[in-house]
Amino acid sequence: MNFRPGELPGVMIIEPKVFGDDRGYFMETWRDNLFREAGLGEVFVQENQSLSQQGVLRGLHYQIRQPQGKLVRVISGRVFDVVVDLRRGSPGFGRWTGVELSAENRRLFWVPPGFGHGFYVLSEQAEFVYKCTDYYAPEHERVIRFDDPDLAIDWPLLPGVTTQLSEKDTAGVPFATADLYD
């Protein structure tokens, strides 16, 4: 596996080694000893999978208590994945970075605890899988607006495709008034 530091402190892009032939391919998506050597000695307690249609935008989600680290990947389709550093003491505070994840590039993206997370579906559909370091706790979940002007995220919204948000995401708060990490 190739571990590349992301643009924000603690974020990591992981490129697995893919072994393929005319039958198909094989790759490891998690191997404890390699992740520990790369400084990611996380314990995962929950794994989730979602299917979303083109134009769906999920996020920016986080849990103010029981913050979740997430190891995310796409197993079919293509998304633009975004993280925002919500840790007040971090040199990356208030900054965002994004990466394309797809079934073709097979990248994994490490989202540390203390980050807001979201993604936008570029393909007709996308299946998204993520391992979490803590359990989902809806009472602690928070949502920041995906289009917050202070964050100025450059989402690659598809022309002619309606952006679809859940009620929860539509009701997201501005970054300036959001609960953040100390």
Q: How many CB atoms lie within 10 A of CB 45?
A: 12
**Residue among 61, 62, 117, 120 flagged as catalytic:** 61
Instruction: Answer whether 102's CB lies under 8 Å from 74's CB.
Output: yes
Quick check: bond before 151 cis, omega within 30?
no
- 14 CB-near residues (< 8 Å, 6+ apart): 1, 2, 3, 4, 38, 71, 107, 108, 109, 110
Say whether 61 is catalytic. yes
Say whether 130 is catalytic. yes
**Residue among 62, 117, 120, 130 flagged as catalytic:** 130
- Nearest C-alpha neighbor of 73 from the set 33, 18, 24: 18
Tokens matching residue 46: 């929950």
Instruction: Answer whether 40's CB lies under 8 Å from 12's CB.
Output: yes
Q: Which residues are known to be catalytic?
A: 61, 130
